[in-house]
Structure 1
Amino acid sequence: MEQLQPAEPVQRPSLLLVDDEASILSSLRRLLRSEPYEVLLAESGARALEILAERPVDLVLSDARMPGMDGAALLARVRQLYPATRRILLTGYADLDTIVKAVNDGQIHQYLSKPWNDEELLLILRQALALQQAERELKRLQQRVLEHNSELKASNANLEKRVAARTAELQQTADMLDLAYEELKHSYVTATEVFSLLANLRLPANKQTNRKLIELVRAYCKSHNLDEAESRDLAMAAALYNIGKLSWSDAMLMAPADLLRHTEQARYRSYPEQSESVLLALEPMQDAARLILHHQERWDGSGFPQRLKGEAIPWGSRLLKLAVDFIELQCGLVLERHLNSDEALLFIRKYAGRLYDPELVEPFIRVCADYLSDVTLEDPTVQMLGTRELHAGMVLRRNLNADNGMLLLNAGKVLSELLVQKLIAFEAMEGAKYSVFVSVPEPANPQTREGG
């Protein structure tokens, strides 16, 4: 069999940067000076189209807000005329309508916000160009396979003795294409995670949920041996479940859901549908988009957006809700008070059968206990008690904080009667109700003590 020839040496990738602000173009050109790219500049959408008509370009990075032809319209035109060119939108505005237009009309491959992080921008450019090169190589191989098949048919006509050999060769080619397709799907997972990290830059560190959510969902998938496709969809859903919130104000993004005003509540309840609509245009994201659409449904049918009930809710959406609520309860995005991990799991256990699939709750808690070092709920020696149930000799297993975040007692503290009484008095003065995680030492064996 004739060996497939390796691809010809790849020329330097060409990048076209489009922005109506000369200072932005200068900053980008300086950033890319040491990179192996041929950099072209255009200060308008019209000039960018002229350059594209004169020569091939591998990637277009365009600002969203420009006079005349905006970024979404330019990238839609690029997609129509030069579909192989990678398209990235750069904007300093959290404008969901612009993003949706760019995704639907221009089918952009990435979205970046101003001000950008240099390392992240360079990483995204490298990944986009690497994926483009992989797609070109795949097309080259596909074309070569088609040509090779035609040669085989012509030379092996009516020769039954070579049927088995040809079948083996075709199977090898099919396996190669399957592998290439799997690599493309893996690239989508990577791209969603990069995008989620960029979107999270809008929030303070203690409100950023996506990375924790991705890791927790992956831990669950690994512990339960979920298949690769299901694990991939859950990871992408965890990365982009809150993309529909990008157009919210900063105040609304950081407010607990329970404290939102009536008008804000209506907007809050629409975010799963907005997240799904942004992602539906991307074929590899459609299963993940369906999980995102239903991740705020509740087991008893009181959720949104479609009030699905019980097993009518997709299984992946039920798991995603558990993970989202567990992380957001600790970030103060559900209740006004930030819960610790044990309190969040107790909340989830309390509402099993109402908000959550009762068959999923305990397996989820066990994964959290195995995966997170600060979860003590599965330790049989640990109890959660009210202040009036405490007594001397008990050992504090978690830091105890006041509702305002002030540290009251450190983990490891052995309680005395005086300390218990002070806690009760402080609780009454603050009008609060504290949950205290303690372990009770086993009583000493009198016979052992006497023998010693």
Structure 2
Amino acid sequence: MGELNVATVTRQPGVLLVDGQDAILQRLRQLLAPHPYQLHCAHDGSEALRIMATEEVDLVISAAHLPHMDGPSLLARIHQHYPATTRILLTGDPDPKLIARAINEGGIYRYLSKPWDDQELLLTLRQALEHQHSERERRRLDSLAQQQNNELKTLNALLEKRVAARTAELQQTADMLDLAYEELKHSYATGAELFSLLVNQRLPPEKQTNRRIIELVRAYGKIQGLEAPIQRDLAMAAALHNIGKLSWSDSMMITPADLLHHHQRERYRAYPAQSESLLMTLEPVQDAARLIRHHQEHWDGSGFPDHLKGEAIPLGSRLLKLAVDFIELQCGLVLERHMNSDEALVFIRKYAGRLYDPQLVEGFIQVCSVYLSDVTLGDPSVKVLGTRELMAGMILARNLNADNGMLLLNAGKVLNLPLVDKLIAFETMEGARYSVFVKLPDKGQANP
């Protein structure tokens, strides 16, 4: 190891040598004289403390046995009054009790035996001063970071006022910045969310998914009681999961994954890994980047990019896939047909054990039923049936729409046999298969 880089400090490190024997002090001075240290010498503890009070001393090397005050007592006084000064004990008597006092009361960096090895002593001295310099630099940078954080809060306050004054055309962006500012004080992840939501403006409103995914994973974390670090990483992963799609064309970004051409599918399968690679240089988001890489893995191992299977897929990635697919199924980004929230949950339940962790699916459905007002599937009285399973007296739990979006029946409609027959005939004519959300009639209620 080389010498301490004195160019990085404004003065030579001060080193205090304390020993009752002139010969020892002379030998230490001769050993250290060629090196870039400001040397001070003392013959006892009192003289050493006087030097400490008047000189800038970075490191003390003290003998264990001194007149009037032994080495451990002197180092304990220095530790109490000058805690930033590094302390080394030099002893020719390896008494365990004496060394224990020096460690416990004096907080020494290290002890060396007499007679010492010159190279070992020089190396120990360099290492101690370099460690001390590193700690001072760390504290300086911490203080600077705190100062900059305070300045950032002030700048954010000004930014909030400016955003509030923007024109109506920028109101949506202003609202997102305002939300991000309020939460920026609590988590680094909010900065990532802001970037994500601004990037999402590239898509038409009906295809913008990031805000809904972020809010859904936050609701899941809160309702399921996930630990705060997992919630933070999951929210950040939700915000940045599709950053790897930024190089895509506009048409590809809004095309359902099921309809992509062969060459487009290759780009599609590459986006999780590309999203991760864009984020891995940012240390605070590396855990979230790992969740992003694996959020398109499938429970049965058929996903991408690494074909992980089962619990080898990170838990946060499994949760993120549920949220992403649930929202994207409703936006027509997975299949050509836009599903409603209940249909999306039926799809997820159908593929539990293949695409999704079967242990998470029902809990996810319950969270959706609590968090989203338009979800009826969480109600145990609601059943999802095909048209040929319908019976008279059943009540529609939500609107029934044809595949082309045309409203067929309103929620609350009580079914009768002629109506069921018409639905079956219409389904056959259209070549469709409808999932009908119904509530069963009371047991005592007669069929109409």
With normalisation by structure 2, the TM-score equals: 0.59
- Corresponding position of 1:118: none
Tell me whether 1:401 sits opposite 2:412 in the alignment.
no
Q: Distance in 2 between matches of 1:304 and 1:232?
A: 24
SS in 2 for 1:344: helix
Q: Distance in 1 between matches of 2:264 and 2:423?
A: 38
Offset at residue 151 of structure 1 (A): 9.4
- Corresponding position of 1:139: none
- Corresponding position of 1:256: 256
Q: Deviations over 1:214-239 (max 9, x none)?
A: 11111111122222222111101000
- Corresponding position of 2:325: 325
The aligned amino acid for 1:348 is I
Contact 1:258 1:335 in 2 (8 A): yes
Q: Deviations over 1:321-343 (max 9, x none)?
A: 11111111111111111122222
- Corresponding position of 1:303: 303
> How is 1:10-159 mapped onto 2 (pairs within 5 angstroms)?
none
Task: Indicate how the Cα distance of structure 1 residues 159 and 294 shifts in structure 2: closer, same or farther if over 3 A, else same.
Answer: same
Tell me whether 1:375 sits opposite 2:375 in the alignment.
yes
- Corresponding position of 1:345: 345
Q: Could you list the runs of 5+ residues in structure 1 that have no partner in the other structure?
A: 1-149, 168-172, 447-452
Offset at residue 212 of structure 1 (A): 0.8
- Corresponding position of 1:279: 279
SS in 2 for 1:437: strand
Q: Distance in 1 between matches of 2:56 and 2:415?
A: 85
Q: Deviations over 1:10-68 (max 9, x none)?
A: xxxxxxxxxxxxxxxxxxxxxxxxxxxxxxxxxxxxxxxxxxxxxxxxxxxxxxxxxxx
Choose 407-416 or 241-250, whichever is displaced more.
407-416
Task: Report the RMSD for the aligned CA atoms in angstroms.
Answer: 3.3
Offset at residue 401 of structure 1 (A): 0.7
Task: Indicate how the Cα distance of structure 1 residues 434 and 158 shifts in structure 2: closer, same or farther if over 3 A, else same.
Answer: same
The aligned amino acid for 2:404 is N
Choose 253-262 or 346-355, whichever is displaced more.
346-355
Q: Distance in 2 between matches of 1:445 and 1:430?
A: 33
Q: Deviations over 1:273-327 (max 9, x none)?
A: 1111211121111111111011111111111111111222111111111111111
Q: Distance in 2 between matches of 1:162 and 1:281?
A: 40
Q: Distance in 1 between matches of 2:360 and 2:392?
A: 37
Q: Deviations over 1:380-400 (max 9, x none)?
A: 211111122223322111111
Q: Deviations over 1:349-368 (max 9, x none)?
A: 22122111222222222211
- Corresponding position of 2:423: 423
Q: Share of identical aligned residues, percent?
A: 68
Offset at residue 162 of structure 1 (A): 8.8
Tell me whether 1:242 sits opposite 2:242 in the alignment.
yes
Q: Could you list the runs of 5+ residues in structure 2 that have no partner in the other structure?
A: 1-54, 60-73, 85-138, 154-183
Task: Indicate how the Cα distance of structure 1 residues 162 and 337 shifts in structure 2: closer, same or farther if over 3 A, else same.
Answer: same
- Corresponding position of 1:141: none
Contact 1:185 1:284 in 2 (8 A): no
Task: Indicate how the Cα distance of structure 1 residues 233 and 391 shifts in structure 2: closer, same or farther if over 3 A, else same.
Answer: same
The aligned amino acid for 1:214 is I
> How is 1:223-242 mapped onto 2 (pairs within 5 angstroms)?
223-242=223-242
In the comparison of the two structures, how many residue pairs are matched? Answer: 291
- Corresponding position of 1:312: 312
Q: Distance in 2 between matches of 1:242 and 1:345?
A: 22
Contact 1:298 1:356 in 2 (8 A): yes
Task: Indicate how the Cα distance of structure 1 residues 444 and 290 shifts in structure 2: closer, same or farther if over 3 A, else same.
Answer: same
The aligned amino acid for 1:397 is A
Q: Distance in 2 between matches of 1:344 and 1:306?
A: 26
Q: Distance in 2 between matches of 1:152 and 1:219?
A: 56
Contact 1:348 1:356 in 2 (8 A): yes
Offset at residue 444 of structure 1 (A): 3.1
Q: Distance in 1 between matches of 2:445 and 2:390?
A: 23
The aligned amino acid for 2:241 is Y
Q: Distance in 2 between matches of 1:351 and 1:165?
A: 66
The aligned amino acid for 1:238 is A
- Corresponding position of 2:88: none
The aligned amino acid for 1:247 is S
User: Larger Cα Rg: Structure 1 or Structure 2?
Assistant: 2
The aligned amino acid for 1:225 is G
- Corresponding position of 1:265: 265
Q: Distance in 1 between matches of 2:332 and 2:441?
A: 33
Contact 1:292 1:317 in 2 (8 A): yes
- Corresponding position of 1:357: 357
Offset at residue 443 of structure 1 (A): 3.6
Contact 1:326 1:348 in 2 (8 A): yes
Choose 260-269 or 333-342, whichever is displaced more.
333-342
With normalisation by structure 1, the TM-score equals: 0.58
The aligned amino acid for 1:388 is R
Offset at residue 161 of structure 1 (A): 11
Spell out structure 1 runs of 4+ moving beyond 4 A: 150-154, 157-167, 179-187
Q: Distance in 2 between matches of 1:164 and 1:291?
A: 49
- Corresponding position of 2:389: 389
Offset at residue 406 of structure 1 (A): 1.2
Q: Distance in 2 between matches of 1:333 and 1:368?
A: 20
